[in-house]
């Protein structure tokens, strides 16, 4: 996963010299929570030696809104729209993870068409999440709006699909335990096929724009390298883990839904640096396209909802369940304990971007402040999910 | 060559810039207040109450059962049940909401009230230009502001509204048929009773015998 461009000697980072100063004096700077590059209200207390980061302490909780406690005081159905607000870029995968854990808890079967639709929606979500992430990452690098606007243009087409299906662009609230809320409107699948068929043009252009771009290479290669051991020990999942070369994808490992019936490959990185994380997402988008094409070929008309499931006054049996899926950002899991009542006794979210954020200090030490923004962008956080 | 990557990137930018003049796919924005994209059929924004016919009070479908109030996740619905009853679309006397408020500054447009409503009385609106100048209770919608006619519902969700109307017509027809059957049964039973009593008074037990099975048939 290295670019076919010769690296510039001149582009190697020159040693930072700051002129005469007291050795060992650190300047503490609070970056955020209103910093434009922190992807929301995220704050980092960095101790700087010149421009080099020597210590970094992430501070979060500015967007905390008691998601788990609300989940314990709301009915099982009532938590579904709240899950949209976790990672507001990928509400469909959040819905799926929650629906999956409730289905595990109550032993609910999902009809075939709903399973295919869920895969289609999850992969469309992955496409738009990765596209907008790459746009934001380049924006953090100083490419200003251009790649971000191209990414948002493609994302907009996918959001239009979500809107015509579920009624809302971002807060879809589409899935239910035992299926999906409503069937696709007429012509929706054709529209989706059309958009998916045209998506590779965007990926090609994005690759031309960034893959061999000397500035991108200079800013990302060997920046924020994450070692395989640290990634595994810290519980990193998703593209960040795979960029280190660890072959772990829950779609393959846990084979939830109908994923075992699909043929797709898991792209792996090698160095675990920011460039690998960036490129891995480009490759994942291509794999998502192939999954989508298979799903469009296989989806059949049929019922969309398990008729046995009672949506209102839903009381699962006593027990506990952990449902997890491969969300675009990593392993998203919901852990539910039921005491037989209408509300869960315990409702716990395992958010991928929060846990991926725990290694931020290790990634950033020794790099400049400008690199911190790029590394943070490549971790792919959404504060709605980090703070819950 | 160093710099070729940047030049390639510039070529992409140029292609997008020129393409935005010719290719509809490269320029998907619209000049909002003047131009508008059509909203999809399924678009949802905030809930409203449906009334049949022309009278928002007499035709209101809501029977103040308070299921939506109970199920609403952010609890933005407030209902007070009426003391008296009014006839609903099937002519059955039902309660109606004396107070029905939705605080749309709290509502999160999740559509759960629509899903749980057994009377097809609450549906999602498509009006999204709702900003108000007042600071406090301008976004607390009262029953009068929430009540909208079935024609309006047909205008904003044509496919869904047609399906709902069909369901309601079927339910009304079924209820009507049931009522008719019950009335017929009652009439038959009355006739049979009259006949049997007539038979009893004329003291000819042979005649009353066929009346008994017919009355049991009607009641079943």
DSSP string, B34-57: TS-PPPPTT---SEEEEE-SS-TT
pLDDT of residue B200: 57
Candidates A157, A113, A88, A149; CA nearest to A328 is A88
Task: Give A150's contacts in chain B (Cβ within 8 Å).
Answer: 16
| pLDDT tier, A3 (very low <50, low <70, confident <90, very high otherwise) | very low
C-alpha–C-alpha distance, residues A377 and A380, integer Å: 6
C-alpha–C-alpha distance, residues A22 and B172, integer Å: 87
A312 and B16 within 8 Å at the Cβ level: the answer is no
What share of chain B in percent tops pLDDT 90? 0
pLDDT (tens digit per residue) in A9-19: 545 555 555 55
C-alpha–C-alpha distance, residues A240 and B78, integer Å: 46
Q: What is residue A5's three-state secondary structure?
A: coil
- More confident position, A162 or A212: A162
| pLDDT tier, B143 (very low <50, low <70, confident <90, very high otherwise) | confident
Q: Give how far A208 is from chain B: nearest CA, Å.
A: 6
A71, A133, A170, A356, B141 from A350: Cα distances, Å: 14, 21, 21, 11, 38
B44 and A150 within 8 Å at the Cβ level: the answer is no
B47-156: CATH number: 3.30.70.3270
pLDDT at residue B154 is higher than 50: yes
Q: Taking CA atoms, what residue in B is nearest to A4?
A: B5
pLDDT at residue B207 is higher than 60: no
Candidates B207, B179, B156, B200; CA nearest to B42 is B156
pLDDT of residue B210: 45
φ, ψ (nearest 5 deg) of residue A5: -130, 135
pLDDT of residue A32: 75
Residue A206: which residues within 8 A CB-CB, separation 6 or more?
A131, A134, A147, A150, A151, A282
pLDDT of residue B202: 54
pLDDT (tens digit per residue) in A100-146: 999 988 888 888 888 999 999 999 999 999 998 888 888 888 777 78
pLDDT of residue A125: 92
pLDDT of residue A123: 92
DSSP-derived pairing of the beta strands A346-350 and B122-124: unpaired
DSSP-derived pairing of the beta strands B47-51 and B147-149: parallel
Domain residue spans of chain B: 47-156, 170-219
CB A120 within 8 A of CB A296: yes
Average pLDDT on B69-92 reads 83
- CB-CB neighbours of A341 under 10 Å: 12
B5 and A217 within 8 Å at the Cβ level: the answer is yes
What share of chain A in percent tops pLDDT 90? 11
Buried b (16+ CB within 10 A) or exposed e, A93-125: bbbbbbbbbbbbbbebebbebbbbbbbbbbbbb
**Tokens representing residue B11 in the block:** 């070529």
pLDDT of residue A129: 92
Report the predicted TM-score, pTM, of the whole model to 2 decimal places: 0.83
Q: Give how far A125 is from chain B: nearest CA, Å.
A: 19
Q: How far is CA A212 from the centre of its chain?
A: 25
Q: Give ipTM to 2 decimals.
A: 0.74
pLDDT of residue B208: 44
pLDDT of residue A12: 57
Lowest average pLDDT, out of A42-51, A259-268, B154-163, B192-201, goes to B192-201
CB B44 within 8 A of CB A162: no
Mutate to test the interface with A, among B9, B41, B115, B156 (most CBs of A within 10 A): B9
Average pLDDT on A169-197 reads 88
CB B186 within 8 A of CB B208: no
pLDDT (tens digit per residue) in A213-244: 888 888 888 888 888 888 899 889 989 899 88
pLDDT at residue B145 is higher than 50: yes
pLDDT (tens digit per residue) in B133-142: 888 878 888 8
Mutate to test the interface with B, among A149, A209, A219, A342 (most CBs of B within 10 A): A209
Q: Does B163 touch chain A (CB under 8 A)?
A: no
Candidates A306, A354, A308, A351; CA nearest to A98 is A351
Task: Give B15's contacts in chain A (Cβ within 8 Å).
Answer: 205
B2 and A213 within 8 Å at the Cβ level: the answer is no
pLDDT (tens digit per residue) in A333-346: 999 999 888 889 98
pLDDT at residue A288 is higher than 80: yes
DSSP H or E stretch at residue A157: helix A145-166
B73 and A74 within 8 Å at the Cβ level: the answer is yes
Task: Give A209's contacts in chain B (Cβ within 8 Å).
Answer: 8-9, 12-13
B40 and A164 within 8 Å at the Cβ level: the answer is yes
Point out the residue among B12, B44, B159 whose CB comes nearest to the CB of A208: B12
Query: What's the burial of A140, exposed, middle or buried (CB within 10 Å: 0-12/13-18/19+)?
Result: buried
Average pLDDT on A259-276 reads 88
Point out the residue among B9, B42, B159 whose CB comes nearest to the CB of A213: B9
**A-proximal residues of B, 40-79, CB under 8 Å:** 40-44, 67, 71-73
pLDDT of residue A335: 92
Buried b (16+ CB within 10 A) or exposed e, B27-59: eeeeeeeeeeeebbebbbbbbbbbbbeeebeeb
Candidates A376, A370, A336, A374; CA nearest to A356 is A376
- More confident position, A1 or A151: A151
pLDDT (tens digit per residue) in B195-205: 776 665 555 44
**Which neighbouring-strand residues pair with A346?**
A337
C-alpha–C-alpha distance, residues A222 and A126, integer Å: 26
pLDDT at residue A4 is higher than 60: no
C-alpha–C-alpha distance, residues A192 and A295, integer Å: 11
Q: Does B11 touch chain A (CB under 8 A)?
A: yes
pLDDT (tens digit per residue) in A16-55: 555 555 556 778 888 878 777 777 788 888 888 888 888 8
Average pLDDT on B108-112 reads 88
**Tokens representing residue A287 in the block:** 């794999």
A67-387: CATH number: 1.10.645.10
Report chain B's terminal Cα–Cα distance, integer Å. 92
pLDDT of residue A124: 92
């Amino acid at each position: 996963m290295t670019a076919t461009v010769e690296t510039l000697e001149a582009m190697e980072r020159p040693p930072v010299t700051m002129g005469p100063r007291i050795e060992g004096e650190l300047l503490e700077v609070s970056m955020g929570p209103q910093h434009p590059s922190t992807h929301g209200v995220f704050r980092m207390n960095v101790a700087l030696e010149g421009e080099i980061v020597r210590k970094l302490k992430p501070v979060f909780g500015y967007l905390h809104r008691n998601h788990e406690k609300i989940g314990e005081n709301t009915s099982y159905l009532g938590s579904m729209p709240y899950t949209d607000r976790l990672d507001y870029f990928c509400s469909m995968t959040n819905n799926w993870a929650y629906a999956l854990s409730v289905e595990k808890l109550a032993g609910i079967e999902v009809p075939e068409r709903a399973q295919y639709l869920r895969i289609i929606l999850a992969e469309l979500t992955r496409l738009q999440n990765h596209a907008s992430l790459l746009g934001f990452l380049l924006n953090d690098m100083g490419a200003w709006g251009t790649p971000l606007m191209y990414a948002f243009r493609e994302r907009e087409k996918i959001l239009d699909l979500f809107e015509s299906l579920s009624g809302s662009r971002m807060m879809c609230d589409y899935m239910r335990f035992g299926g999906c809320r409503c069937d696709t409107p007429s012509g929706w699948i054709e529209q989706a096929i059309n958009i998916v068929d045209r998506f590779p043009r965007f990926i090609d252009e994005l690759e031309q724009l960034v893959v061999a771009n000397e500035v991108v290479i200079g800013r990302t290669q060997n920046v924020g390298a994450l070692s395989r051991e640290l990634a595994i020990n810290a519980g990193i999942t998703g593209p960040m883990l795979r960029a280190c070369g660890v072959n772990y994808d829950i779609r393959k490992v846990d084979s939830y839904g109908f994923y075992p019936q699909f043929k797709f490959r898991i792209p792996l990185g090698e160095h675990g640096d920011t460039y690998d994380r960036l490129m891995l997402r480009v490759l994942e988008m291509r794999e998502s396209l192939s999954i989508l094409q298979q799903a469009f070929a296989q989806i059949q008309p049929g019922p969309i909802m398990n008729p046995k499931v009672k949506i209102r006054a839903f009381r699962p049996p006593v027990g506990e369940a952990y449902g997890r899926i491969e969300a675009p950002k990593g392993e998203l899991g919901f852990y539910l304990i039921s005491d037989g009542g209408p509300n869960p006794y315990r409702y716990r979210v395992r958010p991928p971007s929060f846990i991926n954020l725990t290694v931020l200090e290790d990634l950033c030490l020794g790099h400049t402040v400008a690199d911190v923004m790029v590394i943070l962008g490549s971790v792919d956080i959404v504060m709605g999910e980090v703070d819950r | 060559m160093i710099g070729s990557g940047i030049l390639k990137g510039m070529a992409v930018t140029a292609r997008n810039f020129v393409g935005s003049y010719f290719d509809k796919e490269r320029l998907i924005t619209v000049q909002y207040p003047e131009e508008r994209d059509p909203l999809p059929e399924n678009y949802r924004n905030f809930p409203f109450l449906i009334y049949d016919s022309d009278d928002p009070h007499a035709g209101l479908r809501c029977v103040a059962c308070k299921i939506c109030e109970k199920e609403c996740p952010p609890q933005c619905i407030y209902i007070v049940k009426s003391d008296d009853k009014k006839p609903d679309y099937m002519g059955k006397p039902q309660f109606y909401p004396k107070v029905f408020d939705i605080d749309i500054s709290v509502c999160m447009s999740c559509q759960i009230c629509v899903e749980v409503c057994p009377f097809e009385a609450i549906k999602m609106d498509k009006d999204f230009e709702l900003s108000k100048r007042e600071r406090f209770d301008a976004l607390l919608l009262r029953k009068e502001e929430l009540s909208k006619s079935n024609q309006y519902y047909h205008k904003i969700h044509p496919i869904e509204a047609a399906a709902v109307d069909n369901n309601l017509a079927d339910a009304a027809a079924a209820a009507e048929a049931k009522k008719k059957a019950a009335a017929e049964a009652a009439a038959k039973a009355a006739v049979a009773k009259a006949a049997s009593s007539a038979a009893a008074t004329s003291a000819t037990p042979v005649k009353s015998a066929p009346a008994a099975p017919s009355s049991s048939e009607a009641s079943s």
